[in-house]
Amino acid sequence: MPINLNHEAQVEWDKYLEASSIEEQIVHLERFVGVVVKHKGVENHLRMAKQKLKRLKATQEKMRQAKKGSGERWLVPKGEDAQIAIIGIVNSGKSSVLNVLAGSDSAAKVGAYPFTTVKPEVGSTTARGARLQLVELPAVVEGSVRGEMSGKLVLAGIRNSDCVILAIDLSQNPIEQLELVLKELSIGKIRLNTNRPPVTIEKVGSGNIQIFNSHHYEGKGNDEIIEIMRTKGYMNVIVRFHGSTTIDQFFDALDYTISYLPAIIFGTKGDLQGSKSNYSILANYISENQLPFKLIPVSSTNKEGFDDIEEDIFEKLGKIRIYTRNNVGDIAERPIILDQGSTIENAIEVLSKKMLRFFRFARIWGKSAKFDGEKVGLDRTLQDGDVIQVFA
């Protein structure tokens, strides 16, 4: 935390914390390093700032390379709090959505012809203080999973993300688009808005295959479970069912290569003719088939429907915001973003790994505090909006 900073340095530090892009962060950190008046009290802080600067520059370079995009550089390195993949069939309005969400931070080419985007396009935006890196991936097509139109790279790009925006063009048949994308993703081992199966598998030294709570299993019982596990090469394991599990879910539970990602559907081109009736058709289809998707109609051309979208994305991410407080009681404006269930230790890891070694205790305010300023250790679980002060 900033300690006894001279005014110019404090100003740059605050601007760094509020910056909404890597470029801005770098500018303010560089200025901070340039203007900070050095004394014993700021040594650690300065060292941390320099390390951050180095990391940011490395990330920036990687992003530059990814934008240039040779085959191997397709995976956009994560430089922000979360990476959001914008996906959909060809011409569904992905680049247009990216440009609206990222504003001047993106200049993805929009074209009336198919496959305008052939490499990932990157932009960024913020949601409740979290920095979101937006990555438009080239279109998902029939056969992506077999490698059509760089399909394998597209699917790898989706797996690399933390959340998916699926663009469905409301001026075209929406159900065909949804089915095509979900089919490719499903074969490509990507599950959207699907919980992991409620099964845990623990490898043990001996004892064959032991099964607990098999009454939750909706298949044919223990013999079938054992047979499936044997064919998958399992020897000595404890299998626990924590809730009702179908056979398909059981197969999924045994496959560690499946990715589970939160997702939102954008119904795009809401200003075009026929979009209203296609919206209803898609909404009905989603509810009749109990598909777990929120459907948001937007028009990139008219910039309509985007008002609450950052909120929706933040909600989907399952992240929490933690604010830090310095020794004079100032609370940082920009939160650090952590996964739900994170602890004080996880927060400090983000702030500075070194701080962990010299950790004494922390004080905490907010939902996780029994009372304001409660003294806690590294293992205290945090909740959204908590304020922490670290003593090291």
Ligand X SMILES: Nc1nc2c(ncn2[C@@H]2O[C@H](COP(=O)(O)OP(=O)(O)OP(=O)(O)O)[C@@H](O)[C@H]2O)c(=O)[nH]1
Shortest reach from residue 4's CB to Mg ion, in Å: 50
- Does 94 contact ligand X by CB under 6 A? yes
Task: Scan residues 295-354 and list those touching ligand X (CB under 6 A).
Answer: 299-301
At 233, give phi and psi (nearest 5°): 90, 15
Of 57 and 183, which has the nearer Cβ to ligand X? Answer: 183
- Does 278 contact ligand X by CB under 6 A? no
Tell me how many residues contact Mg ion (CB under 5 A).
4
Of 117 and 342, which has the nearer Cβ to Mg ion? Answer: 117
Of 117 and 275, which has the nearer Cβ to Mg ion? Answer: 117
* Nearest residue to 37 via CA among 10, 16, 1: 10
List the x/- string, 85-124, binding to Mg ion by CB under 5 A.
---------xx--------------------xx-------
Shortest reach from residue 266's CB to Mg ion, in Å: 14
- Could you tell me if 102 and 117 are in contact, meaning their C-beta atoms sit under 8 angstroms apart? no
Task: Scan residues 37-76 and list those touching ligand X (CB under 6 A).
Answer: none
- Does 281 contact ligand X by CB under 6 A? no
Write the CA distances from 133 to 78, 160, 167, 356, 386, integer angstroms: 8, 12, 17, 28, 24
Among 72, 112, 233, 328, binds ligand X (CB under 6 A): 112
Percentages helix, strand, coil for the chain (3-state, rounded to 5) are 40, 20, 40
From first CA to last CA, the distance across the chain in angstroms is 11
Shortest reach from residue 91's CB to ligand X, in Å: 5
- Does 164 contact ligand X by CB under 6 A? no
Write the CA distances from 361 to 43, 324, 348, 357, integer angstroms: 21, 14, 11, 11
Of 4 and 116, which has the nearer Cβ to ligand X? Answer: 116
Of 105 and 271, which has the nearer Cβ to ligand X? Answer: 271
CA distance 138 to 147: 12
CA distance 45 to 384: 26
> Which stretches does DSSP call E strand in 178-231?
190-192, 199-203, 209-212
CA distance 42 to 45: 5
- Does 271 contact ligand X by CB under 6 A? yes
Residues that bind Mg ion (CB under 5 A): 94-95, 116-117
Residues that bind ligand X (CB under 6 A): 88, 90-96, 110-112, 114-117, 139, 268-269, 271-272, 299-301
